[in-house]
A = this chain, B = another copy of it.
Amino acid sequence: MAQPATNVALSHCAHDHEACITDALARADTVCRQQGLRLTAIRRRVLELIWANHQPTKAYDLLAQINAKRGNAAPPTVYRALDFLLEAGLIHKIESQNAFIGCAVDHERNQPKFFICRECGRAAEIQSSQIDDVIASEAQEAGFVVDHQTIEVDGLCAACAGAESTNS
């Protein structure tokens, strides 16, 4: 299963998945150029695979996908690329799944947060700053200095919830 998730993605909404990948890579190129970061071949390839999968993807799955065509990269190759991409803000880690997903969001003001569907497996990054605001005020009240947030909401996405109620 080299590129298993394309179908999953398309089963949901028929967006132009190719464009969504190339857009993400183009954005990554821009970001890296602006910040003097080197988006090397491996890093670019890992980012591409993450976007192609269109779901939170595990490090060892990425490794397998990289090695599917040719070669036999070792875990550090992937983890180093992931570290770089995380650092650059081009991907996020889904802590509750030990998996990684592409980021298409500007985090000047918002911290990452996700709705994760247990049915289709997809993780939607939500942008609202309301949650951040509430957390900020709660933190302030407690004298806690916020550094980083992990917000992952599991459940059923609208599409899957609809499908389920149709079945029953």
Contacts and interface: CB of A to CB of B under 8 A. Distances in A.
A117 B145 CA distance: 9
A150 B151 contact: yes
A75 interface: no
Nearest to A141: B128
Contacts of A151: 149-152
Interface of A: 95-96, 115, 117-118, 124, 126, 128, 130-131, 134-135, 137-139, 142-158, 161-162
22 contacts: A96-B150, A115-B142, A115-B144, A124-B142, A126-B142, A130-B134, A131-B134, A135-B153, A139-B155, A142-B157, A143-B158, A143-B161, A144-B153, A144-B156, A146-B153, A147-B155, A148-B153, A148-B154, A148-B155, A149-B151, A150-B150, A150-B153
Contacts of A139: 115, 153, 155
A96 B96 CA distance: 7
A154 B149 contact: yes
Interface majority SS (helix, strand, loop, mixed), chain A: mixed
Given A96-B150, A150-B95, A151-B151, A161 B134 contact: no
